[in-house]
Structure 1
């Protein structure tokens, strides 16, 4: 069933969408967009607490997603099942479940939400959804990989938020 969903998405492909989806997915490569946002938030005194929450959440995400779940589940990628697909991005060599791009993106969006960043979390959520969809469009993840990434990201964000709240808030970050 998941391959059929991916194949249906392939019918949407156009040269313009191919370019757009490749750019969107690159924003999520190695979580770079979220790491840059974290650095900016950490530098600015007014947003330092949010930066700490985001940093902690992204660290938890890396451990959960890339350190534990991908290796535990060991799911092969859809392009290895349907070899007729022409990939538009470099072939990922790690396992498929959960989607790391999606997990990092939803970690960031949820961490911003939990930190009370009302102006930032909504655009971050839109970008997270676009990055997640790009992974399906590019045929590098199954829909359940995306769902797993969303769940993993939300859990990582919550843990990062609780750690900051329980431990680091005692340092009384100046806002």
Structure 2
């Protein structure tokens, strides 16, 4: 219990350090980004772009990413939040300019962070680095935005992201990458890593 109490205090200290800070451009970028990730619409947009690209690897990344969210979201929102029932942070003394409407659901774990990490992990397993890296940066920004806007403690975000990474990796078990047919060389067939020319 003493360790749990100390972690709770540390979590609150980190929350106030972030949520009360003034980061250049933060108020203009992070709240809209956080809202864009509501109901995983941001990730659905990425997936749609990948699916329409015509590249097999990106189509697989889109499918795997949405599969990962489909696992992470109910696990966090329907199971985790019901079990832990943690209260949201208090909005008192936080900069009103960047506060989002406080969600009514429990705070722990963060559903936005779970979906972001799930999608980014799944995309990293399929897409080339030039595609996966920006997705990972956006996912990290969404996670950070949940603390910066005052709707989640850092511990909520870390727990949600952990669930997201785990479910992203789990998709490999549920949907393994197809093996190339006999006689196909490296980079041939949809199951191999064909090159993608940069735009």
With normalisation by structure 2, the TM-score equals 0.75
Cα distance, 1:165 vs. partner? 0.8
Contact 1:57 1:161 (C-alpha < 8 Å) held by counterparts? no
Distance 1:156 1:73 in 2: 20
Counterpart in the other structure of 1:27:
36
What residue is the counterpart of 1:57 in the other structure? 68
Between Structure 1 and Structure 2, which shows a larger proportion of helix residues? 1
Deviation at 1:44, TM superposition (A): 4.1
Contact 2:65–2:120 at 8 Å: present in 1 too? no
> In the alignment, what sits opposite 1:129?
140
Distance 1:21 1:96 in 2: 19
The answer for unaligned runs of 5 or more in structure 1 is none
- The one of 118, 121, 125 equivalent to 1:114 is 125
Unaligned stretches of 5+ residues in structure 2: 1-8, 182-188, 192-199
Residues 1:18 and 2:27 aligned together: yes
After superposition, the C-alpha distances for 1:68-124 in whole angstroms (9 at most, x for unaligned) are 111121111112xx6444652111011111111111111111101112432221111
| Bigger Rg, structure 1 or 2 | 2
Superposition TM-score, scaled by structure 1 size: 0.84
User: 2:169 corresponds to which residue?
Assistant: 158
Higher RCO (CA < 8 A, seq sep 6+): 1
The size of the alignment, in residue pairs, is: 170
Q: Is the 8 A contact 2:20 2:95 kept in 1?
A: no
Give, in whole Å, the separation in 1 of the partners of 2:63 and 2:148. 33
